[in-house]
Structure formats: structure tokens, C-alpha cells
Structure 1
Amino acid sequence: MLLDEFENSRAVIEPTDEGIRGIGEICDTIIFTFNGEIVNRLSQMEKVYEGGYLQNLNGKLPWYIYQEGNYKVAVTMAIIGAPMAVGQLEELKAKGFKNFIILGSCGVLDKSLQADKIILPCSALRDEGTSYHYAAASDEIAYDHALLLTMEKALDKAGIEHVGTKTWTTDAFYRETPEKVRRRLAAGAQVVEMEASAIMAWAQFRQANVYQFFYTADYVDHHNQEWDTRLEFRTTDVMTFFKVALAIAKEL
């Protein structure tokens, strides 16, 4: 199997190579959000400014500097999908960022999880391709337990309710069949998304400090073979989730 070919060796192209373009102001922590509205609203705030950017064939991917008092944090938009998200993280780490707070929505497999709940992915089922280039083949992968504890303590201190669970990371959101959903639930996954297992593998390989959380969105109803967007229940302002990320950042 091709996905059994993990090699812990230097690659031909490394994110530190001079040909990887990007420049700008670096701070210790960057918030990496899959929600573009958060970045758009931040970019329009007074005293928030563009700190730098990555660049590829799609164009520039800027990050913005947000400051409260003497505290600074960078914020950038993550591209959806494991390959591009990990590619961005590779380059951001190579530029000098040390802590990565990652947030985005997730689908729900377990209907008991209501919309807009904060989820900490403790482990992930590896149903994508990127992670197998950063870690030996296995069905599951997890974050360093110490990093999870740091995040849990930060959320507890801020009084933010959260649920820890296993997630199912898949490349193919249009192939979440009822039988697959049943099997993933049986394996312990309560939510589904597209990047977490790859990010976990990257974090282990690069020894990166990653603090990732989700907020629940749609429901993949395998019982009725329907997709429930749950839009009427997803009423939390997205900047609330940015504040959750800030609560974590301030404790690092």
C-alpha cells in the first residue's frame, strides 16, 4: 500500500527553502481559523493591521495582527482541506510562529451534540491522505496529552463549556454514507471534519504546539439518510469563537 510508505527523513522540498515565499511580522501565537468571516471582521477593526502573508498560485494569504494592551496575536484564514491546511501550517511554522490555535466548524454524527458547542478533538480517525506522510499508518491518531490539558485548563479558567471526543477526518464530505457514519460512531467518533487527523500527524512530526477546537454545525442524519443543516440553531456570533481562541492564547 502506498500509504504505508511513511519515511522520517528530509524531503526534497522543505518549508524552510528560500523559494517558499512569505514575509512579515511574527509573534508567538497565530490563530488559524477556517471561518473567513472572523478574518474579514477582524481586518476591518481599528488598530488591526496586516502583519504579513504567505503566497502561492491562488494569491496572497495574509495574516493580521490583533493587539490587546501589550498582548499580540496573529490571525489568518485556513484553507479548507487537509493538504492545504497542513501546507500552510508548515510554512507558518517555518516563518517563526510557535503556537497554533486552530478553530473551525464540524459536522455532528451524534445528534445529542447541540449546535454551536465547543468540541476538543482528543483523537481522530484517519480517513484522509495527508497524515500518512507525517506518521506511520494507523487507524487513529491523537494530540500530545499535555497540549490538550493546557487547552482544557484555559477553557475551564474562562468558564467556557466544552466536550472532548474523537473525530472522524475525511477527505470526501460527499461520501459520508449511512453505513460509514454507523461504523465511525461505533468506533467512538461523534463529529466529522476534514483536517484534524492530518494536523495531529503534522504536529507530532514537527513537534508543533497545536491547540485545536471545533464548534458544532450540521447533523449528518444516518438514520433518515438526510443532511440537517441546523441553520435555525446556529445563532452564535462567530466572534464568540474568536474569543474562545483568545482565551486559549492568553494562557500560553
Structure 2
Amino acid sequence: MLLEEFENVPGVIEPTDKQILEPGQICDTIILSFNGQIIERLLESDAVRPGGHLKSLNGLHSWYIYQQGDIEVAVMLALIGAPMTVGQLEELAARGFKNFIVLGSCGVLDRGIAADRIILPAAALRDEGTSYHYAPASPEIAYDEVLLAKMEAIFDKHNIEHIRTKSWTTDAFYRETPDKVKRRLAAGAKVVDMEASAIMAWSQFRKTKVYQFFYTADYVDHHNRTWDARHAERIADAMTFFTVALTIAKELER
């Protein structure tokens, strides 16, 4: 099987190659949001200044510097999908960022979980391809317990309600069939995303510090074989979740 060919050796192309690197302002911590509205709101508020960029065939992918008091962090739009996200993390780590706070929405498999709830992914089912190049083959991967405990302690300190559970990471959101959903629920996954298992594998392979959380959005209704976007239930302002990420960043700075 191709996905069982994990090799713990350098690649032909490494993110530290000089031709990939570009100058830019680096902070210890960068917040990566999958929600473009958060970045748009920050740019509209003049709360950020240009920091630097990554390059791809799609163009430039910019990060910005956000300052609040004596806290200074970078913020950036996260690229959707496991291969894109991990490639982005690789190049940001090569530039010198040390702490990665990643936030975005997730789908819900367990209809008992309401919209706008914060999720800590304690583990993820590996239904994508990228993680298998960063960790030996296995059905699932666990979040680094030290990092998870640190993030949970921050949430408890600031009375941020959250749910700790397993996620199902899949590349193919149009192939979340009812029977697959049932099997993923039976395996302990209550939410679904597109990047978490790959991010966990990358973080452990590169020995980096990633603090990832989700906020719940749509419901994959396998009972009625339909998709419930739950727009009426999703009333939280997107900046509420940026504030959570900023709380983590401030605690890391301390």
C-alpha cells in the first residue's frame, strides 16, 4: 500500500531551501484562521499591518501583524485542505514561527452538539492522505497530550466552555455517506474536519507547537440523509472565536 511508505528521512525538497524563503516580519506566534471573515474584519479595522507572504502558483498568501498592548502576533488566512495547510505550516515554521494557533469551523456528526460550541480535537481519524507522509500508518492519531492539556488549562482559566472529543478528518466532504458517518461515530468521532489529523502528524514529525480548536457549524444528518447547514443556529460573531485564539496567544506570551 502506498500510504504505508512513511520514511523518517529528509525529502528531496525541504521547506528550508533558500529559494523558497522570503523576507518578512516574524513573531513567536501566528494565528491561522480558516474563516476568511476574521481576516477581512481585522483588515477593515486597521488593527493589523503587513508582515510578509508565502508564494504559490495561486499568488501571494499574506500574513499580518496584530498588536494589542504589548502583545504582538501574526495572523493569516489558513489554506483549506490537509495538503495545503501542511505545506503552509511547513513554510511558516521554516521562516521562524514557533507557536501555531489554528481555528476554524467543523461539521457535527452527533446532533446533540449544538452550533457555535468550541471543540478540542483530542484525536483524529486519518481519512486523508497527507498525514501518512508524516507518521506511520494507523487508523487515527492523537493530539500531543502536553499541548492539549496546556490549551485546556487556558480554557479553564478563562472560563471558555469547550468539548473534548475525536474528529474525523476527511479529504472528501462530498463523500460523507450515511453509513460512513455511522462508522465514524462508532469509532468515537463526534465532529468532522479536513485538516486536523494531518496537522497533528506534521506537528509531531517537525516537533512544533500547534494549538488547534474548532467551533461547530453544520450537521451531517445521517438519519435523514441530508445536510443541515444550521444557519439559524449559528449566531456567534466570528470575532468571538478570534478572541479565543488571542487568549491562547496571550497566555503563550506569558
Separation in structure 2 between the aligned mates of residue 186 and residue 235 of structure 1, nearest angstrom: 30
Separation in structure 1 between the aligned mates of residue 96 and residue 137 of structure 2, nearest angstrom: 29
Match of 2:5 in 1: 5
- What letter corresponds to residue 84 of structure 1 in structure 2? M
Counterpart secondary structure, 1:231: coil
**Closer/same/farther in 2, CA of residues 47 and 215 from structure 1, 3 Å limit:** closer
Match of 1:23 in 2: 23
Separation in structure 1 between the aligned mates of residue 214 and residue 140 of structure 2, nearest angstrom: 18
- What letter corresponds to residue 18 of structure 1 in structure 2? K
Tell me the alpha carbon deviations over residues 119-142 of structure 1, each in whole angstroms, 9 at most, x when there is no partner.
000000000000000000000101
Match of 2:192 in 1: 192
Does structure 1 conserve the Cα–Cα contact (< 8 Å) formed by 2:123 and 2:166?
Answer: yes
Counterpart secondary structure, 1:14: coil
Does structure 1 conserve the Cα–Cα contact (< 8 Å) formed by 2:178 and 2:225?
Answer: yes
Structure 1, 43-52 or 191-200: larger mean CA deviation? 43-52
Query: Counterparts in 2 of 1:10-89, with a 5 A limit?
Result: 10-89=10-89
Separation in structure 1 between the aligned mates of residue 208 and residue 39 of structure 2, nearest angstrom: 23
Separation in structure 2 between the aligned mates of residue 144 and residue 193 of structure 1, nearest angstrom: 18
Equivalenced residues, count? 252
Q: TM-score of the superposition, structure 2-length normalised?
A: 0.98
Could you list the structure 1 runs, at least 4 aligned residues long, displaced by more than 4 angstroms after superposition: none
Match of 2:215 in 1: 215
Q: CA RMSD in A?
A: 0.7
Separation in structure 1 between the aligned mates of residue 92 and residue 12 of structure 2, nearest angstrom: 19
**Structure 1 residue 64 displacement after superposition:** 0.8
Identity, % of aligned positions: 69
Match of 1:107 in 2: 107
Q: TM-score of the superposition, structure 1-length normalised?
A: 0.99
**Structure 1 residue 45 displacement after superposition:** 2.1
Separation in structure 2 between the aligned mates of residue 57 and residue 4 of structure 1, nearest angstrom: 30
Counterpart secondary structure, 1:250: helix
Does structure 2 conserve the Cα–Cα contact (< 8 Å) formed by 1:23 and 1:54?
Answer: no
Match of 2:175 in 1: 175
**Structure 1 residue 155 displacement after superposition:** 1.0
> Gaps (5+ residues) in structure 1?
none
> Gaps (5+ residues) in structure 2?
none
Separation in structure 1 between the aligned mates of residue 228 and residue 30 of structure 2, nearest angstrom: 33
**Closer/same/farther in 2, CA of residues 219 and 69 from structure 1, 3 Å limit:** same
Counterpart secondary structure, 2:124: strand
